[in-house]
Structure 1
Amino acid sequence: MALHIFGDSAVRGKNKSENLVVGDAKLKVNEVMEDTGPNYELLRELVPEEVVEKIRRFGLRVCQGEDLCVWKHTVDGEFTTKSAWEVIRKHGLNCTWRRWLWQDFVPKKMSFICWRARRKAIPVDDIIRSIRIPIVSKCSYCLHPQVETLNHILCEGDGAKQVWKFFAEACQLQLPHIRKWEGMMSFWWEHSMRSSQVGWTHGVLPIIILWALWKARCLA
C-alpha cells in the first residue's frame, strides 16, 4: 500500500481544486521522510508553509515494516464493530435527571415527588388555577405569603431558601442566584459525583430536600 503525499488530507485540504501538484504527482510519503522525521526542506519546496506546520504538529515518524491501515477510533488502531457503531450511531442527550433521580437506596416516594413536580402534576394553587378552577391562592408557610406556585414552594419561598442555603453550606457548595427549582436541582447534580459515598450523598440530597419541602407544605 502506497500513500501519496498529494493524496493526504493534510496536504490536499478541503478544496481539491485549490491545491496544485508540484513535481511528481505520485510522490510517496516515505520519499519525503528521514530516520528522524519529515524532510522539511524538501516539503517547503512542495507545499505551502502552513501545510508544513500542520505536518510538523502531526509528529510523523518512520517505522520499520509494511504499511498498515490504522483505525483512528480505537486506542490500539484495530477495527472493531463496536467502535464503528459508536461512530455512526446517533447519541442521545446526557440526561442528568435520569442518572440521579431513580436511586436504589432512595425511597421511591421521594423520587416520585420530584418526577411529578417536573411534569407539573402536583396540586399547587397555580396549577389548579391553570385548569380553570377559581381559587384564592396564598402560601401558608412563608413569613411573607405570596401566590402559591411550584417554584415558590420548592425554591423561592422563605422556607425553601433557608433549607437550600443550610444544606449548601453543609456541603461547601456556593449557590448562585437561582430562581427555578429545576435549575437548583441541575446545578446541585452537576457538582456531585457518584464515584464516592460523599459525592453520592450530595447527589441524593436534592431529592430528599424536595420531598421534605413538599411534605412541609402539605402539613402547613
Structure 2
Amino acid sequence: MLWVVNAGSCNFWYDKWLGSGALCLKAIVNPTLSVKDFLTNGEWNGAMLRQYIPQEIIALILEHPVPSGDHHDELVWSQTASGKFMLASAFQEVRQARNYSVLHSQVWHPRIPLKVSFFMMRLLLGKLLLTDVLRRVGVQLVSKCLCCQEGAIETLEHVFAEGQVAKDVWRYFGRIYRVTQLGSSLRAWLTAWWLFSPRQAVRQFLFLILPSFICWHTWKARNIAYYEGRQMSVARIFHAILLDVIGVVEIQFNQKLEVHTFLQLYEWTTQQTLGGIGPGNGLRLCVQKQFTDVSIQVDSPVLVGILQRRLQCPWVIRQEEVDHSWGMIIDMAQISHCYREANRVADSLAKVGASSHNRNVTIYDDFNAIPRQTRGEIRIDRYRRWCSRTSCLAFHQLGFPNFRRVTM
C-alpha cells in the first residue's frame, strides 16, 4: 500500500508515502515532527531535511510533489490503476511463477478473448494442426497450402508469415502503423509489433492486440478455405480484424469510435493523449492572467468524464495533473466535449506540444510565430466565422467543411 500525499496528514516517519519504504527504517525518528514541519512557503525545507534525514534520502523527497490542498491523504494499492485493492493483483505480486518469454507474455490481456489467447499460445508453441505437423506424427495428408497459387507445403511459417496472403496482411499493417521487421518469420513480425513502444497509451494498447487478431483471422480464413472451399481473401481478413479491434478498443476506452478504416483508427490514436492531461497548463495560464469566465472544451470524452468526476482516474497520474486541474475548476459546467473537427486550431497546437520535448507553456505573441499549419487552421476558422456572421449563401446551403489531412 502507498500513501498519496495531498494535505500532508499521513505520518511522516511510519507511513509509506515516499515510494521506497517508510522513513523510520532509514532515519532516526523524531515523533514530534510531521510532514508540515518540513514545508516552508509551499516548498520543502532543505535545512530541516538535512538536519533529520540522511543525505541519500533527501534527493528522493525533493523529487516528490510538495503536499498541497485541503484533501485528506489517500491510501492506494499501487499494483492497480484504480488504487483499489484486488486479490488477483496481490496474488500476482507474491506468486513465484514468471513469464519465461516476452512473446508469450503478450498474448494474455483481459480484453483479448480467451479463445484468441489460447490460440496464440498454441501458435507460438507450434501445436496447431497444420498438415505439416500432422505428417510429423504419422498422419499422411496432401500438404498443399491454400493461401497462394504455387501450392507450397503448408507449414506454420508459410501460413502465418511467408505465404502470399500473410505477407500482404503484415505489410499492409506495417505500412499504416510504420512497423518494420528484421526477417520474414512470424516471430520477427510479432517481435517488431510487441517491442515497439509508442508514447500514447492508446496506441500501445493497439500495438498489443493487433498481432493476435491478425494471426487469429488468418487462421480462420485458412480453415474456411480448407473445410468450405472458399478462397482466402485478404479483404475479408482486413474487415474481420477491423470489426474485432474496434470492438475491443471501444470497451477498453469506454467510447464509441466513428472509424471505418485502419488509417482512421491510426489517426484516432494520435488524438488520445490521456496520459498528458492537456487542460492543466491552459488552466494555470488562465489563473495567472486572472481570467474567471472560462469555458473548457476537450475533444476526449474520457478526459471530460474524469474532470467532471464521472469516470475514475488512474491514481498514478491523478496527483501530478488531475488534482491540480480539479483545484482550478470552480464549476463542472465549464467543461464540455467537442469534436476534434470543430477544434482544429487547438488540436493543431496540441500536436505541436506533444511532439516537443519542452514541457513549458509556449505563448505566441506574434501571428507569424505560430506554427505554419496552425496559422492555416486559424485562417479557415476566421473564414467560417465570417460566413456565419454575414449569412453567406454558400455557408448555409453547402456548409464550410473541415478537412482531415492524411500523410501517405
TM-score of the pair, normalised by structure 2: 0.33
1:44 aligned residue:
50
Deviations 1:2-37 (A, max 9, x none): 866554655x96796764x3xx83331233433433
2:165 aligned residue:
160
Q: Which has the higher contact order (CA 8 A, sep 6+)?
A: 1
Q: Match for 1:72: what amino acid?
A: V
Distance 2:154 2:10 in 1: 71
Deviations 1:164-195 (A, max 9, x none): 3564477565452341289659949x9997x9
Q: Match for 2:60: what amino acid?
A: K
Distance 1:84 1:97 in 2: 19
Does the C-alpha gap of structure 1 residues 171 and 208 become closer, same or farther in structure 2, counting only changes over 3 Å?
Answer: farther
2:314 aligned residue:
none
Post-superposition offset of 1:129 = 1.9
Distance 1:185 1:54 in 2: 36
Deviations 1:24-65 (A, max 9, x none): 833312334334333321221222333222222223346679
Secondary structure at the counterpart of residue 51 of structure 2: helix
Does the C-alpha gap of structure 1 residues 183 and 57 become closer, same or farther in structure 2, counting only changes over 3 Å?
Answer: same
Does the C-alpha gap of structure 1 residues 129 and 57 become closer, same or farther in structure 2, counting only changes over 3 Å?
Answer: same
1:85 aligned residue:
86
Distance 2:55 2:166 in 1: 60
Aligned-residue identity in percent: 13
CA contact (8 A) 1:3 1:28 kept: no
Deviations 1:119-177 (A, max 9, x none): 845351x22223223568565855484x43233233223x3355335644775654523
Q: Match for 1:55: what amino acid?
A: I
175-184 or 94-103, larger mean C-alpha shift? 94-103
Q: Match for 1:52: what amino acid?
A: I
User: What's the Cα RMSD here?
Assistant: 5.5
Q: Match for 2:30: what amino acid?
A: A
Aligned pairs for 1:34-113 within 5 A: 34-61=40-67, 68=72, 70-73=74-77, 83-85=84-86, 88-90=90-92, 95=107, 99-100=111-112
Distance 1:181 1:156 in 2: 11
1:106 aligned residue:
none
Secondary structure at the counterpart of residue 71 of structure 1: strand
Distance 2:63 2:213 in 1: 46
1:148 to 2:151 alignment = no
2:379 aligned residue:
none
1:122 aligned residue:
129
Distance 1:202 1:13 in 2: 39
Distance 1:83 1:155 in 2: 42
Secondary structure at the counterpart of residue 133 of structure 2: helix
2:33 aligned residue:
28
1:212 aligned residue:
221
- How many equivalent residue pairs? 190
Post-superposition offset of 1:84 = 2.0
1:107 aligned residue:
none
2:382 aligned residue:
none
CA contact (8 A) 1:168 1:175 kept: no
Distance 1:59 1:97 in 2: 33
Distance 1:172 1:18 in 2: 48
Secondary structure at the counterpart of residue 151 of structure 1: helix
Structure number with larger C-alpha Rg: 1
Distance 2:157 2:213 in 1: 20
TM-score of the pair, normalised by structure 1: 0.52
Q: Match for 1:48: what amino acid?
A: P
Secondary structure at the counterpart of residue 76 of structure 2: coil
Secondary structure at the counterpart of residue 48 of structure 2: helix
Does the C-alpha gap of structure 1 residues 37 and 185 become closer, same or farther in structure 2, counting only changes over 3 Å?
Answer: closer
5+ residue gaps, structure 1: 75-79, 104-110
Q: Match for 1:212: what amino acid?
A: A
Distance 1:37 1:44 in 2: 14
Q: Match for 1:88: what amino acid?
A: A
CA contact (8 A) 1:33 1:39 kept: yes
